[in-house]
Amino acid sequence: MHISEGVLSAPILGVGATLTIAGLAIGLKKMDYEKLPEVAVLSSVFFIASLIHVPIGPSAAHLILNGICGALLGWMAFPAIFVGLTLQAVLFEFGGLTTLGVNTFNMAFPAVVMGYLCRHFIKSPNLPVRLVSEFITGAGAILMSGVLVAVCLVMALGESMESAARLVILAHIPIMIIEGLITVFVIEFILKVQPEMLRDTVYSSQ
């Protein structure tokens, strides 16, 4: 879901950068020493998962795993995803430095939202409820990211980008399903070996 450089207007880039700075500030404020290894690992997972991508006009389709980041990190998903995107932009020219703010927000904000909405259900003792909520966390984060990318493209270029925006969302439907299933597998594994990783403190005020 990287938006390439030269596509978005300056106001959209400015708003995206401002929102990302705010998200980074909250995420860094909530980050403590004990969480650093977890943030680093998930940033690495995000970086690797996003390397294999299929170009779709001014954007691209690829695994993101932002739902998992949101479920495990909360607001700290912002710095984790920001670091991954920065390395991709510098090393592989995916997206770009000027679109870093918009791309970070489009991937990190849905992670925070879906993690917040589903975090209680993910820890439910009822297995069907837990599995469905885990799937929704992964798939919903992708859907929301796709919608944000589509909105950015339409706002930037109007009707000429409507077909490309629809294509971005449609192309991510298979990825939504795949990421939903991956999220179920990962969260269930974590609940068995280290359930404390899903504590609520990453969303609470400090």
Please check whether residue 202 is in contact with residue 69, taking contact to mean a CB–CB distance below 8 angstroms: no
Query: What SS3 class is residue 106?
Result: helix
Q: Which two tokens stand for residue 73?
A: 């990190």
Q: Tens of pLDDT along 86-132? A: 998 888 777 788 999 999 999 999 999 999 999 889 888 899 999 99
The whole model's pTM is what?
A: 0.85
Instruction: State residue 70 phi and psi, 5-degree precision.
Output: -65, -40
Q: Tens of pLDDT along 7-30? A: 888 999 999 999 999 999 999 998
Residue 199 has pLDDT above 80, yes or no: no
What is the residue type of 100? Answer: L
Closest CA to 182 of 141, 134, 129, 117: 134
| Residues 6+ away with beta carbon under 8 Å from 41 | none
- Which fold does the domain 10-202 belong to in CATH? Arp2/3 complex 21 kDa subunit ARPC3 (1.10.1760)
Q: How far apart are CA 88 and CA 117, in angstroms?
A: 29
Please check whether residue 165 is in contact with residue 153, taking contact to mean a CB–CB distance below 8 angstroms: yes
| Residues 6+ away with beta carbon under 8 Å from 33 | none
Q: If you average pLDDT over residues 196-202, what whole number do you get?
A: 61
Q: How far apart are CA 84 and CA 43, in angstroms?
A: 6
- Helix ranges (H only) for the chain are 10-30, 36-49, 66-73, 77-92, 100-122, 127-157, 162-171, 173-193
Indicate the helix (H) or strand (E) that contains 54. Answer: strand 53-56
Q: How far apart are CA 65 and CA 56, in angstroms?
A: 19
Q: If you average pLDDT over residues 66-84, what whole number do you get?
A: 93
